[in-house]
Amino acid sequence: MQQVVHIDEKWFYLNPGTRRFYLLPNEPNPYMCQQSKRFKVKGMFMAAIGKTIFDTHGGVLHDGKYGVFPFVYESIAKKKSKNRDAGVMEIKATQNVNKEALREMLLTKVITGIKSKWPAHLSKDVRIQWDNARPHQIPKDEEFNEACQSDGFNIQFIYQPPQSPNLNVLDLGLFNVIQLIQY
């Protein structure tokens, strides 16, 4: 299990449909800045974690955290607003995450993050495990294969068994904690 890295992606809604607030008698209702109830602002993140590795004295050699990466893109602001000038670079959330967006995320963020934080004392045979979602198709092009095999690494992708949510480490742990903190 030391060579297995778990990856998964999750949508996070900035304002969920129902929220409960406990207010004092003289406290005003909280301000909800949502443009439309039909189109909620959301963002997708991909996370990569592995097993924590300890030394013989209980000290942490490797924390198993490879990163949480947002699906975002940069665009130039066309109009001026009260918050920014025209022509300024804006970062926007990607609303359509398909297999091309997943391929780009794997190439630019996930694989490079794993390679940069991989412990030196471990073998470079890495297994990346993710769930059996429909857009999770392993790219077969030459550039992707070269990125997985470069720098002495042998990165291979494995799938979780279908319909086995108990094996999804990220949904059971990390994403639940993030949602609790967010809400």
pLDDT 10s digit of each residue in the chain, 183 long?
778 888 888 888 776 666 677 888 898 887 766 666 666 778 888 899 888 889 889 899 889 889 999 999 999 989 998 888 999 998 888 888 888 888 899 999 999 999 999 988 888 999 988 887 777 778 888 998 999 999 999 999 888 877 676 667 777 777 777 777 766
For the chain, list the strands marked E by DSSP.
4-13, 42-50, 53-54, 60-62, 65-70, 72-76, 89-93, 125-130, 154-159
All structural domains of the chain: 4-24+36-70+96-182 (3.30.420)
Burial annotation 43-75 (CB, 10 A radius, 16+ → b, else e)? bbbbbbbbeeeeeeeeeeebebebbbbebeeee
Tens-digit pLDDT profile for residues 137-178: 788 889 989 999 999 999 998 888 776 766 677 777 777 777
